[in-house]
């Protein structure tokens, strides 16, 4: 099969030895593997620290990769993402503080286990489950992504817009936040993306005569502000105190735990499937982990004991969160529609490195795609080894008090925001987005659709306008053939379903006036 040949070429790309100059020293080493280890260690630290998550960790480091080869750059950044996924579990289990939103469900049973002195067991189960979920998702990406991409090559402008429409409509449908707030957050993202130069006509818009608005808003600034500064403000408000449990993790604990895990094969399979589904549709890792936990609680024969330290309550959310986190890259690679905020930042990276995300990536930049997919296999193994061996070290990082950590994170946010375009205005905007992020989080406006819309805004608009140009202005183009009609219809079902279900429970008789 062609996929396997490509995949082996990918492994060759990742493992290849290169002459590199690191800090002035000439070295001959497998540079991409080196980057993978650096990325995962950085990622775990980012995942463990409050205020630094996968999305803004990658956003802050993205400018440093501008001069790197795209394949090396994406390996470094995607490994930070995998590392952050692993790191979230550590704080959940030891400190009862979810380092990342997708590890909230892990605290339900993980922390009780740590309180009972079973922290090592809980951590081993969490890491192993993460590994299995991720591995399942990567195999699925290897098999499905080229097929989806080949299919998507036939898409014209109308179909492309329909895919965006479906992605964003299901956001409104699947989001646990109120649908009109999701819609508002998303449209704010689209609107922010339109500031500055219109790429199709070259004319200016929404600049209001200000030179600062000429280049528009960069989504990296928004990510750093919304997720970084916003998170620190929230943490300050909650007056976070770290009181952690000690983790004793050694080979014996790991092996004993591994002996227990095969009995939960059905939980694993179910959680993998839930995770992959939620990752491909842009619901993301957080709802996937909750859904998987909820279903496991309902069907397990130990369901009543969930919440008191049941190992299955750690397995289910961690497997699903990682399966979702990784499979979020499938639509990003094959269709150019990222399935999570971090995947959106990676997509922004592709554009900066001069690559076109979407189906053509598989034909025109096949070395890049397969290098990335191969690095996902290897990064997963490297990640598991690193987290299993470094838990005490990582728990020590968490004991550094917030009074020291917070200003250092703030400094990195400012440095990251400045380096995007060497602009002070961006640093000011970062703080503005930070305050916005704090208010939005407190008032239940979801941030993920805002960021995704900001990244995809230009492309969605271009597809929309090109389709209209082709049809001479008739909206009928979005229902002109079976394919596009089907995607649009699915999108409308997702959109209206949410409005109707909200209407049933809360607002009675309100017309869905916002179908756009």
Kindly tell me which residue out of 1, 25, 28, 208 binds other proteins, with binding defined by CB under 8 A: 208
Kindly tell me which residue out of 465, 483, 485, 496 binds other proteins, with binding defined by CB under 8 A: 465
Q: Near other proteins by CB under 8 A, which window of 329-337, 344-352, 365-373, 507-515?
A: 507-515
Compute how many other C-beta atoms are within 10 angstroms of the C-beta atom of residue 259.
Answer: 9
Task: Please say which residue, 237 or 256, places its beta carbon nearer to other proteins.
Answer: 237
Rounded CA separation 200/469 (Å): 12
Site membership for other proteins, residue 397 (CB under 8 A): no
Site membership for other proteins, residue 115 (CB under 8 A): no
Rounded CA separation 380/83 (Å): 9
Task: Please say which residue, 153 or 408, places its beta carbon nearer to other proteins.
Answer: 408
The tokens describing 324, both together, are: 């979702």
The least distance separating other proteins from the CB of residue 186, rounded to whole angstroms, comes to 9
Q: 414 to 453, contacts with other proteins by CB under 8 A?
A: 414-415, 418-419, 422, 424, 427-428, 430-431, 434-435, 438-440, 442-443, 445
Q: Near other proteins by CB under 8 A, which window of 35-43, 183-191, 242-250, 305-313?
A: 183-191
The least distance separating other proteins from the CB of residue 275, rounded to whole angstroms, comes to 30
Say if CB 58 and CB 342 are below 8 A apart: yes
Q: 93 to 112, contacts with other proteins by CB under 8 A?
A: none
Rounded CA separation 70/366 (Å): 12
Kindly tell me which residue out of 30, 37, 181, 367 binds other proteins, with binding defined by CB under 8 A: 181
Task: Please say which residue, 473 or 482, places its beta carbon nearer to other proteins.
Answer: 473
Phi-psi region of 217 (alpha: psi -120 to 50; beta: other; left: phi over 0): beta
The least distance separating other proteins from the CB of residue 486, rounded to whole angstroms, comes to 23
- The mark string for 219-238 relative to other proteins (x by CB under 8 A, - otherwise) is ----------x--xx--xxx
Site membership for other proteins, residue 516 (CB under 8 A): yes
Q: Where are the alpha helices (DSSP H) in 261-284?
A: 265-280
Say if CB 310 and CB 302 are below 8 A apart: yes
Say if CB 291 and CB 274 are below 8 A apart: yes
Rounded CA separation 514/511 (Å): 9
The least distance separating other proteins from the CB of residue 408, rounded to whole angstroms, comes to 6
DSSP codes, 267-331: HHHHHHHHHHHHHHTTT-HHHHHHHHHHHHHHH-TTGGGTTS--THHHHHHHHHHHHHHHHTHHH
Number of residues that bind other proteins (CB under 8 A): 69
Kindly tell me which residue out of 38, 187, 483, 493 binds other proteins, with binding defined by CB under 8 A: 187
- The mark string for 341-360 relative to other proteins (x by CB under 8 A, - otherwise) is --------------------
Site membership for other proteins, residue 147 (CB under 8 A): no
The least distance separating other proteins from the CB of residue 211, rounded to whole angstroms, comes to 15
DSSP codes, 134-180: HHHHHHHHHHHHHHHHHHHTT--HHHHHHHHHHHHHHHHHH-SS-HH
The least distance separating other proteins from the CB of residue 107, rounded to whole angstroms, comes to 22
Computed on alpha carbons and rounded to an integer, the radius of gyration of the chain in Å comes to: 22
Kindly tell me which residue out of 34, 180, 277, 479 binds other proteins, with binding defined by CB under 8 A: 180
Site membership for other proteins, residue 23 (CB under 8 A): yes
- The mark string for 474-493 relative to other proteins (x by CB under 8 A, - otherwise) is --------------------
Say if CB 224 and CB 416 are below 8 A apart: yes
The tokens describing 333, both together, are: 């690679």
Task: Please say which residue, 132 or 183, places its beta carbon nearer to other proteins.
Answer: 183
Rounded CA separation 168/464 (Å): 14
Say if CB 333 and CB 361 are below 8 A apart: yes
Closest CA to 47 of 95, 98, 2, 13: 98
Kindly give, in sequence order, each residue whose CB lies less than 8 Å from that of residue 80, ignoring residues fewer than 6 positions away: 39, 40, 42, 43, 46, 54, 57, 58, 61
Task: Please say which residue, 22 or 263, places its beta carbon nearer to other proteins.
Answer: 22
Rounded CA separation 46/56 (Å): 9
Task: Please say which residue, 66 or 265, places its beta carbon nearer to other proteins.
Answer: 66
Ramachandran angles phi, psi of 418, nearest 5°: -65, -45
Rounded CA separation 366/120 (Å): 41
The least distance separating other proteins from the CB of residue 242, rounded to whole angstroms, comes to 12
Q: Near other proteins by CB under 8 A, which window of 9-17, 340-348, 403-411, 488-496?
A: 403-411
The least distance separating other proteins from the CB of residue 167, rounded to whole angstroms, comes to 16
Rounded CA separation 288/324 (Å): 7
Neighbour-count burial for 68-104, b at 16+ CB within 10 Å, e otherwise: bebbbbbbbbbbbbbbbbbbbbbbbbbbbbbbbbbbb
**Interface positions with other proteins (CB under 8 A):** 23, 63-64, 178, 180-181, 183-184, 187-188, 190-191, 194, 198, 200-201, 203-208, 229, 232-233, 236-239, 401-404, 406-408, 410-411, 414-415, 418-419, 422, 424, 427-428, 430-431, 434-435, 438-440, 442-443, 445, 461, 464-466, 468-469, 473, 506-507, 510, 513-514, 516
């Amino acid at each position: 099969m062609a996929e396997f040949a490509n995949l082996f070429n990918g492994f060759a790309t990742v493992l290849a030895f290169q002459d590199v100059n690191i800090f002035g020293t000439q070295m001959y080493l497998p540079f991409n593997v080196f980057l993978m280890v650096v990325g995962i260690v950085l990622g775990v630290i980012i995942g463990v620290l409050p205020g630094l998550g996968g999305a803004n960790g990658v956003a802050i480091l993205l400018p440093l990769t501008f001069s790197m080869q795209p394949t090396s750059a994406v390996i470094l950044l995607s490994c930070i993402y995998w590392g952050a996924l692993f790191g979230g579990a550590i704080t959940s289990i030891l400190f009862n503080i979810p380092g990342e939103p997708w590890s909230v469900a892990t605290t339900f049973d993980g922390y009780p286990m740590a309180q009972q002195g079973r922290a090592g067991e809980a951590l081993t189960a969490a890491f192993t489950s993460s590994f299995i979920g991720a591995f399942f998702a990567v195999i699925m990406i290897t098999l499905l992504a080229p097929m989806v991409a080949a299919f998507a090559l036939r898409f014209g402008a109308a179909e492309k817009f329909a895919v965006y429409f479906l992605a964003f409509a299901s956001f409104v449908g699947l989001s646990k936040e109120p649908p009109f707030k999701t819609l508002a957050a998303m449209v704010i993202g689209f609107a922010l993306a339109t500031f500055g130069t219109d790429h199709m006509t070259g004319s200016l818009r929404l600049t209001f005569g200000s030179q600062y608005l000429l280049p528009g808003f960069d989504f990296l600034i928004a990510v750093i502000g919304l997720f970084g500064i916003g998170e620190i403000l929230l943490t300050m408000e909650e007056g976070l105190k770290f009181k952690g449990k000690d983790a004793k993790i050694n080979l014996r604990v790991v092996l004993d735990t591994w002996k227990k895990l095969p009995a939960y094969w059905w939980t694993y399979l179910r959680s993998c499937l839930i995770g992959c589904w939620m990752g491909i549709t842009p619901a993301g890792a957080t709802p996937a982990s909750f859904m998987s936990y909820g279903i496991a609680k309902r069907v397990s024969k130990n369901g009543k004991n969930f919440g008191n330290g049941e190992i299955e309550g750690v397995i289910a959310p961690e497997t699903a969160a990682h399966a979702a986190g990784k499979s979020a890259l499938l639509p990003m690679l094959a269709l150019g529609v990222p399935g999570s905020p971090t995947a959106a930042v990676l997509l922004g990276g592709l554009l900066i490195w001069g690559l076109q995300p979407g189906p053509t990536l598989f034909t025109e930049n096949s070395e890049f795609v397969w290098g990335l997919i191969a690095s996902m296999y290897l990064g997963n193994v490297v990640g598991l080894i690193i987290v299993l061996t470094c838990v005490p070290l990582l728990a020590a990082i968490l004991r550094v008090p917030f009074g020291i950590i917070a200003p250092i994170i703030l400094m990195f946010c400012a440095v990251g925001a400045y380096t995007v375009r060497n602009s002070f205005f961006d640093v000011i905007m970062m703080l503005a987005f930070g305050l916005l992020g704090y208010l939005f989080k407190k008032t239940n406006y979801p941030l993920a659709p805002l960021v995704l819309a900001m990244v995809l805004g230009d492309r969605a608009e271009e597809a929309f306008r090109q389709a209209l140009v082709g049809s001479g202005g008739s909206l009928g183009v979005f229902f002109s053939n079976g394919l596009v009609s089907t995607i649009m219809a699915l999108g409308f079902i997702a959109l209206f379903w949410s409005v109707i279900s909200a209407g049933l429970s809360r607002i009675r008789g309100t017309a869905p006036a916002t179908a756009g």
